Amino acid sequence: EEEEKEEDDEKEEEEMEGEEEEGKEEEEEAKEEEEEGPAGSPAAEAPSDPPPKPVVPGVLYLSFLPPGFGPRQARALLRPHGELGRVFLQPHGGSVRRRRQRPGGPPAVAFAEGWVEFRDKRAAKRAAKLLHGAPMAPRPRSPFRHHYWSIKYLPGFRWPHLSERLSYERQVRAQRLRAEVAQAKREGGFYARHASKEPPKTSGEPAAPPRTWGFTQRPTEEEIWRRKARPP
């Protein structure tokens, strides 16, 4: 009987060890399935697509703008070459003085140069390469048909750079204006101080004799005839 009990105990231990090993194998298989994903699924077989590249804007520089050319004309002529962003045209001499504009007429300000932003820098590069040196307007009745584009793509240039430049130019212009006003005030004060130093004239004081020049003048025709008419 004791031998039978020992044999039964050994069988139970072997069965328990077998169950533990099976449990460990099932856990390992479950972990592998979680890591690999479901068998036959497209996520497990197909590689993930790379994320799309962000669209970077580009800026074109217009070094020449004909008379009557404004932001509206710039958008109308450049829009067919790509999606546009912001447009800035610099007036001649930085002046923003405006004159009266007729309805439908040219812009009230004459512009010297400009910057145009494209949403995609690739479109900006294509437009600069295609339009530089080409006629500005293909239509025969356009006022810009005899003018040609002068366009340059600015690599690495962004719109905040332009804002910084314009802010700096405004500061320089304001500083120059303040210096000119201060110089005019100093000159006006100098003349006022020297004018006040002259002694006041009384009513009974005789008038100052006329100033005589210290060089000989050529005789007039009347003096010449008078000299000839004198008796010798």
**pLDDT, tens digit, for every residue of 35-82?**
555 545 545 455 666 777 788 899 999 999 998 899 999 999 999 999
Cα Rg of the chain, angstroms? 47
Report residue 214's pLDDT band, with 50, 70 and 90 as the boundaries: low
**Rounded CA separation 40/44 (Å):** 7
Please give the backbone phi and psi of residue 118, each rounded to the nearest 5 degrees, phi first. Answer: -100, 145
pLDDT in the model for residue 182: 85
Residue the block writes with tokens 């009347």: 222
pLDDT digits (tens, 9 = 90+) for 75-130: 999 999 999 999 999 887 655 445 445 555 555 678 889 999 999 999 999 999 99
**Rounded CA separation 84/58 (Å):** 10
Reported pTM: 0.52
pLDDT in the model for residue 211: 65
Region 18-42 average pLDDT: 57
pLDDT digits (tens, 9 = 90+) for 126-163: 999 999 999 988 888 888 888 999 999 999 888 888 88
**Rounded CA separation 179/186 (Å):** 11
Q: Would you report the helix, strand and coil content of the chain in percent, each value rounded to 5?
A: 50, 10, 40
Please give the backbone phi and psi of residue 18, each rounded to the nearest 5 degrees, phi first. Answer: -65, -40
Read off the tokens for 112.
């010297």
**Rounded CA separation 102/170 (Å):** 29
Sign of CA dihedral 214, 219, 223, 228: positive
4, exposed or middle or buried, with CB in 10 Å at 0-12, 13-18, 19+? exposed
Question: Which residues are CB-neighbours of 139 under 8 A, at least 6 positions away?
Answer: 145
Read off the tokens for 125.
């590069």
pLDDT in the model for residue 46: 54
pLDDT in the model for residue 75: 93
* DSSP H stretches of helix in the chain: 2-36, 42-45, 71-78, 121-131, 159-196, 221-229
CA 169 to chain centre: 12
